Amino acid sequence: MLDRTATGPQRAANAARTAVVWEALRHLLADFAAGAEAPLEIVDAGGGTGGAAVPLAELGHQVTVVDPNPDSLAALERRAAEAGVRVRALQGETRDLPELLPPGEAHLVLMHNVLEHVEEPLGSLVDAAALLRPSGAISVLAANAVAGALHRAFAGHLADAHRMLADPQGRWGEGDPMPRRFGADQLAALAREAGFEAVDIRGVRVFTDLLPGRVLEEGAHSSAELLELEKAASEHPVLSGIATQLHLLAHRAGE
């Protein structure tokens, strides 16, 4: 689940950035596996080069990645081969999901770093819901508008930060490379409108993106403390609101 080519400080930062997401997914998959006779079916929409898909396949699950970029899919296949696992790669956009995959078969759909970029976030979530079997779940990782304003202010761009707080899309202007960012309430409402329930949102990367590099260079003790700090902050009622990303887990409704 981590980049094996990264340096020690980089690995510490990467671990802290992903720990909250992977811990939540491990618990969810364990619950699904307890009642399943076959490997779990997982769809990674916009999964790119397989940063999530390959580790999930290494856990024994059947994973399909849908991504529009053929170069990313080629890199995914190389990555899977190096890991000794098989991941199915399909080229397409998130709105192509109904044509590419059968409905009602997936246990889990991932949409990590996707909703910020698609033209219709609600439509993409509706299409994802259709892929899920009864009680299936979706995992969404999305940029947090509040954190975006905070980081912009720390960089000295105070007017940009002010604009981001007022903008419905969480953007600071025409030059902003991110098409949209979400607030926690906004993301939860979107999931419910798409037909999901039991919506749970955590903050991801509360402290890691704010700490000076020297903190990450202080060794294993500091790294372990950072991991625990991120886990605690992810569910804190105030701190989770300033996390760089929001992680949403929700279940298909009406079953």
Residues in the chain: 255
Domains of the chain: 8-144+182-252 (3.40.50.150)
User: What pLDDT, on a 0 to 100 scale, did the predictor assign at position 106?
Assistant: 96
Strand partners, 162: none
Strand partners, 141: 112, 247
Low-confidence ranges of the chain (pLDDT < 50): 1-9, 221
User: What pLDDT, on a 0 to 100 scale, did the predictor assign at position 117?
Assistant: 96
CA angle 41, 47, 51 (to 5 degrees): 95
CA distance 112 to 78: 21
User: What pLDDT, on a 0 to 100 scale, did the predictor assign at position 227?
Assistant: 85
User: What pLDDT, on a 0 to 100 scale, did the predictor assign at position 210?
Assistant: 83
Residue 128 near residue 111, CB atoms below 8 Å? yes
Q: What are phi and psi of 2, to 5 degrees?
A: -115, 155
Q: Which of 17, 253, 255 is nearest to 125 (CA)?
A: 253
CB-neighbour burial class of residue 211 (10 A; exposed 0-12, middle 13-18, buried 19+): middle
User: What pLDDT, on a 0 to 100 scale, did the predictor assign at position 17?
Assistant: 74
Sheet holding 41-45, edge to edge: 88-91, 62-67, 41-45, 106-112, 132-143, 245-252, 196-204
DSSP 40: P
What interhelical angle do 8-34 and 220-234 show, nearest 10? 50
Q: The pTM is what?
A: 0.90
User: What pLDDT, on a 0 to 100 scale, did the predictor assign at position 212?
Assistant: 75
